[in-house]
Amino acid sequence: PKPVVAIVGRPNVGKSTLFNRLAGERIAIVEDKPGITRDRIYSKAQWLDRNFHIIDTGGIEVGDEDEILMRIREQAELAIDEAHVIIFLVDGLTGLTPADQEVAEILRRSKKPVILAVNKLDDPSKLHNRFDFYELGFGEPIPISAGHGTGLGDLLDEVIKHF
Ligand code: GDP
Ligand code: MG
């Protein structure tokens, strides 16, 4: 079986944008409970000679703050169950938020390898923003722009080290 890589993070950090960048052929949209945003989208992906599957988590985030936090937790836990490696995505323009801390706490409890990627660093002058995320405790934050497609090679190099 191919390794599974899940993209996890609070809403709006760019998970689906990153997924679409990395995705080859889409496999399925899995919705296991109507009304609850537990749907995950799976795709095949490849980096160098390594083939793997990626999961986009999150779906459409609606509801009040408590509901969204509950779904963030639920998604992070599902990803931990299914994935071999987790890409923890944060937003380098917004900076660190309490919802990021919430995700971090769940991921820390897992035994799975977590790669921290700081998205939306399109502008080279903002690259230093990644250092704000060191305090999450997942090692060196990797700067990327899912929108522009930069930094993805460095990110995937780290990911495939854990296969
Ligand atoms: P998700 O909720 O985590 O899946 O986030 P989306 O992929 O839906 O993206 C949320 C918003 O961030 C959208 O408006 C995207 O266009 C924007 N976005 C995603 N990646 C980037 C990026 O690298 N740079 C910038 N500037 N915006 C981005
Ligand atoms: Mg999304």
Helical spans, DSSP H, in 83-151: 98-109
**What confidence tens digit (pLDDT) does each residue in 38-59 have?**
557 888 999 999 999 999 887 6
Q: Name, of 20-29, 30-39, 41-50, 112-121, the range with top average pLDDT.
A: 112-121
The ipTM (two decimal places) reads: 0.99
Instruction: Kindly list the domain boundaries of the chain, sorted by start residue.
Output: 4-160
Q: Which of 8, 10, 12 to mutate to test the pocket of ligand 1 (most atoms within 8 A of CB)?
A: 12
pTM of the model: 0.92
Query: At what angle are helices 15-22 and 152-160 packed, to 10 degrees?
Result: 80
The finding on whether 3 has its CB within 6 A of some atom of ligand 1 is: no
3-state secondary structure at position 96: coil
The finding on whether 120 has its CB within 6 A of some atom of ligand 1 is: yes
CATH fold group of domain 4-160: Rossmann fold (3.40.50)
Q: Is 109 exposed, middle or buried (0-12, 13-18, 19+ CB in 10 A)?
A: exposed
